[in-house]
Amino acid sequence: MSKTAEQILSDELLIPQPKEPLAHPMEGYLRTDRLPHIWCSTCGIGTVITAFIAGLQKSGLERDKVGVVSGIGCSGRAAGYLQLDSFHSTHGRAIAFATGVALGNPDMKVAVISGDGDIAAIGGNHFIHAARRNMNLAIICINNFNYAMTGGQAGPTTPESANASTAPYGAYEYPFNLPFLAESSGAVYVARWTSLHVRRVTNAIAEALVKPGFSFIEVIAPCPTLYARRNRLGSGLDLMRFYHDNAVIDHNADTRDIDIEYQKKIVVGKFVDKEKPTFLENKDAVLSAKLGDKYIPYKGA
């Protein structure tokens, strides 16, 4: 039985506590045989994985009712380390793949954990159409402002003037404001946090997992090896300090106004949380009304 949003927010942060000393405190949720992981020291991706496991626990969902899909990239490695029904799909196709899993298993909640490039560049079309259809998916986009795995190229969220390997004199394209893109495409839940806001990210993931329909959570996270090094921003810890000093929580912010400018204030919060029938609910409602008893509601593959 899934928990309500109120129950989730009133619970304490639940980090899995092993009864006996184990090899890893999250053993049971991680494929520990795949450790050590590939991520660099002070990279923000691991924090999101920790928050995902804690959020999954808070959600109260049965583990066999949750699937995780990632694309390709450093962030796209997330699914491969999680001991769930998890899939490392192709670059840009994580949401398309997750849509198939969700439609084939309507009683399952499918989460996508992937990067800004995977979700908003090559996968941008799948992103807007899954949001438009209100597919039952929870999207967690780890935004490190660049294509990290392939060498720090500029992507669709790189702030103007930031240095990237394909923008050595500073990026000059206009970046996406992802919460605005998600909301205007139809998402029913939209939040932005940084990897410093572990408790908030955890709660957002728990809420998104139990919310029917398309939820989107952007997590701004350090990439010390490429983005921070090229921009001389220091280590991941320095970026966490920057988030501490520059993240402004404003749940009532209009998503149109929360563009991210290079090394300026970052508006974070839960911006959208509304109810709307999902893709399958709409399909069943429309076809039952038209076809009556002749229509057999779809129960999954």
271 touches, from ligand TPP, Mg ion, ligand SF4, none (C-beta below 5 to 8 Å by class): none
The answer to whether residue 268 forms part of the interface with ligand SF4 (CB under 6 A) is no
Among 67, 117, 224, 269, binds ligand SF4 (CB under 6 A): 224
150 touches, from ligand TPP, Mg ion, ligand SF4, none (C-beta below 5 to 8 Å by class): ligand TPP
Q: How far is the CB of 123 from ligand SF4 (least distance, A)?
A: 17
The answer to whether residue 116 forms part of the interface with Mg ion (CB under 5 A) is yes
The answer to whether residue 43 forms part of the interface with ligand SF4 (CB under 6 A) is yes
Nearer to ligand SF4, 134 or 225 (CB): 225
The answer to whether residue 225 forms part of the interface with ligand SF4 (CB under 6 A) is yes
Sites for ligand SF4 among residues 55-84 (CB under 6 A): 74
- Say how far apart CA 116 and CA 225 lie, in whole Å: 16
Return the number of other C-beta atoms located less than 10 Å from residue 172's C-beta. Answer: 10
Contact 136, 214 (CB under 8 A): yes
Q: Which residue, chain included where needed, has tokens 């694309």?
A: 71
Beta pairing class for 85-88 and 189-194: unpaired
Task: Indicate the angle between helix axes 178-185 and 124-133, nearest 10 degrees.
Answer: 40
Query: Which of these, 197, 121, 132, 194, lies nearest to 157 by C-alpha position?
Result: 121
Nearer to ligand SF4, 112 or 223 (CB): 223
The answer to whether residue 144 forms part of the interface with Mg ion (CB under 5 A) is yes
Question: Which residues make Cβ contacts (< 8 Å) with residue 21, sequence separation at least 6?
Answer: none
Nearer to Mg ion, 99 or 144 (CB): 144
Start-end of H helices in the chain: 5-10, 45-59, 78-81, 94-104, 116-117, 124-133, 178-185, 198-210, 229-230, 236-246, 279-291
Residues that bind ligand SF4 in the complex, under the rule CB under 6 A: 39-40, 43, 45, 74, 144, 148-149, 223-226
Residues found near Mg ion in the complex (CB under 5 A): 115-117, 144, 148
